[in-house]
Structure 1
């Protein structure tokens, strides 16, 4: 009688085994993926906001090591570690000032399928390329973000490595430092997740008559734990569950900025309107309970836009008329390159070379840079600074 129910278990186990096979195929010979990105001197100079000559001069006078030449005499390019050292030597670090508070950004929408985890990981890697110190916190028990960082939530992550020991009814950890994992990115860390994190929801739901006080304490506890950790970072990015639950509410209260991704379809637009209405109601309820919700910025980001689909263009126009300047002007274009990278459990920023055509890759990367830079500008505005003008902009202004 339970054969079909039992089949669910078989399907889940088969799926986990396949994920592990895909991970091993993508990341052999290492059990976790490495980062083999290289940046040419022109790209490095653009990231530093300086000339290539300034980099060469720093290499010639010994302030920077020269990249070793390959067998054909060509320079192999700079690693992320090299770029971080270069920023330090050339005074090109974008890090916040000590008195500026870290940006704690929740990427949140209660509708699934809007690219929430894809936005989270691409945003983290974009900030990593730009030289920021980044912490990503996967608060979703589905653990898509954890997977995109090269971890298998089923095989590689134990419950004790997630938020669970900190948020559970009977916590065994008093701070979040235990959960921070290094990633292949030297300046991007991760607090991973797995399915067992959902036990927090069960425990708090079953907490009895004092449930409200327990919930309130968990909201404050997550905010304090993240605030303590954030002192070592410039940007903290939170990926909450796509549903209204205890963890989602705690994330909503812990963040000081909100990015709402949505696809360019009518159902996504309608669902997001409902999400915003629910957020408003929940914020008022939290405030009445003495739990403040305060954001430096709230922006909507169209995360899946097909420029060749007239219906997408029409929905984006509706978004613009509805949300005005709260909708970020540059959407994320749907691209095969994003899908190809995801198949390899990567982001576009991690690809050593194009998976599709060079033209497709270049267009996708340029679009992602422009879309992510909108969020960077909001973060820097909160610190009272703006991105430095490029030489091209200075020349045209003159």
Structure 2
């Protein structure tokens, strides 16, 4: 019997998987394979705007904000566009406009956060996209950058990277090294508007892995800009358009991760409170310290507003995880984000359809208690990070009206 050649088997399996994923996407996505965003209830909108329900009703009654769609029992339903429009209107007469439009002001530095980890499975991508969506709903202009060739973050926005970006159109095009046939392009050429208002995407794809293999050759020939400046230089082309950039890094300390880190103003490390993950995190930090020292001596960035740790996949029913979480807080102090991102079937079920907890249709929720706990966790850690962003700009998040 003739054994199959490995590369033929791999290609056949890849083709079968790609076709199956395409069929799956058609089941989950809206017609024409485009995702859309649900509407939001009055209770959700008052929480996002940080106003009382009575205040919102009065604004509608006085005709100061536009009417919106009504659902069953004449309950108001708000699109994300409605929320952004109401924010803009209310900010015009507010004593503190920052309450409704909390983004950058003149002189504020663009906030660039990279999510990092040495190993997979720490909810790094889910954390990045969840944080991005929450802050977009809170009124920030957000750009998410997928710097991982596996392109998991890109799939959250309804794309199939292995099909949609097979020939290019990703971050790679904006940071690649020049050759005889192709040169890098402006990041504006690959930036995608998403179905989520206030949230744009720079996608990834398998071609992005070429950056890892091409960098040593580029270094040997002295090509400029050097690898650790490439993502930073690309983002400078669009920095006036956003308040915040979130970069999802690959689960390794390679050239892509180092380029993202050197472009960042803050770093967020996701850690599952388990011994194996903590050991991996320690190794990552040791390696990163040495690498960053070398890069810093060669002109790369060295100072950051924040280096924060987020506990992810936190199972509150496991006492060992609770003990390790407390141990980490005692060891690392305020660097550990106060609210953990809990392990939840609600988050996992949303992820199966390439959605975050914020996109789940409330009417279809089977276990409301589980959903509410997961939502509270996502809102909590996102709000904790928002406080850090505001502090980097020298101000605090306003209290509820």
Bin the TM-score by the shorter chain. over 0.9
Aligned equivalent of 1:192: 203
The verdict on how the C-alpha distance between 1:347 and 1:68 changes in structure 2, with shifts beyond 3 A counting, is: closer
Per the alignment, residue 84 of structure 1 pairs with 84
- Work out the CA distance in 1 between the residues paired with 2:50 and 2:121: 36
| Unaligned stretches of 5+ residues in structure 1 | 392-398
- In structure 2, C-alpha distance between the alignment counterparts of 1:326 and 1:153, rounded to whole Å: 35
Report the more deviating stretch, 138-147 or 222-231.
Answer: 222-231
Matching of residues 57-206 of structure 1 within 5 Å: 57-70=58-71, 74-91=74-91, 92-170=100-178, 172-206=183-217
Aligned-pair distance for 1:138?
Answer: 0.2
Alignment of 1:270-285 (within 5 A): 270-285=279-294
Give 1:1-398 correspondences, 5 Å limit. Answer: 1-40=3-42, 42-70=43-71, 74-91=74-91, 92-170=100-178, 172-207=183-218, 209-210=220-221, 213-214=222-223, 217-353=226-362, 354-390=364-400
Equivalent position of 1:394 in the other structure: none
Q: TM-score, normalised by structure 2?
A: 0.91
Q: Decide whether aligned partners of structure 1 residues 60 and 105 sit closer, same or farther in structure 2, where only a CA change above 3 A counts.
A: same
Contact 1:216–1:291 (Cα < 8 Å) also in 2: no
Instruction: Give secondary structure in 2 for the equivalent of 1:99.
Output: coil
CA distance in 1, matches of 2:324, 2:53: 43
* 1:386 Cα deviation from its structure 2 partner: 1.1
Determine if contact 2:149/2:205 at 8 Å carries over to the other structure: yes
Report the Cα distance in structure 1 between the residues aligned to 2:183 and 2:59, rounded to whole angstroms. Answer: 49
Partner Cα distance (2:220, 2:101) in 1? 51
CA separation of 1:208/1:101 partners in 2, compared to 1, >3 Å: closer, same or farther? closer
5+ long unaligned stretches in structure 2: 92-99
Which secondary structure does the structure 2 equivalent of 1:56 belong to?
A: helix
Q: In the TM superposition, what is the alpha-carbon distance from 1:264 to its structure 2 partner?
A: 1.4
Number of equivalent positions = 387
Distance 1:84 1:17, change over 3 A: same
Tell me the SS of whatever aligns to 2:311.
strand
Q: Distance in 2 between matches of 1:289 and 1:216?
A: 13
After TM superposition, the structure 1 stretch with the greater mean CA deviation from structure 2, 133-142 or 275-284, is 275-284
Whole-angstrom CA distance in 2 between matches of 1:208 and 1:337 = 46
Judge conservation of contact 1:93–1:131 (CA < 8 Å) in 2. Answer: yes
Alpha carbons of structure 1 residues 294 and 208: separation in structure 2 relative to 1, 3 Å: closer
- How far 1:208 sits from its partner (Å)? 6.6
Offset at residue 261 of structure 1 (A): 0.1
Q: Is the 8 A contact 1:138 1:146 kept in 2?
A: yes
Q: 1:348: how far off?
A: 0.5
Deviation at 1:232, TM superposition (A): 0.8
Spell out, residue by residue over 1:184-238, the C-alpha distance to the aligned partner (whole angstroms, 9 max, x if none): 111000000111111122222333732xx33762322321221332221111000
Mean CA deviation greater in 375-384 or 2-11: 2-11
* Counterparts in 2 of 1:287 and 1:56: CA distance versus 1, 3 Å: same
- Distance, in Å, in 1 between the alignment partners of 2:324 and 2:64 is 52
Runs of 4+ off more than 4 Å: none
**Cα RMSD for the two superposed structures:** 1.8
CA contact (8 A) 1:259 1:299 kept: yes
Supply the distance in 2 between the matched residues of 1:214 and 1:63 (Cα, whole angstroms): 57
Worse-matched range after superposition: 321-330 or 233-242: 321-330
Output the CA distance in 2 between the equivalents of 1:68 and 1:366.
26
Q: Counterparts of 1:62 and 1:376 in 2: how far apart (Å)?
A: 31
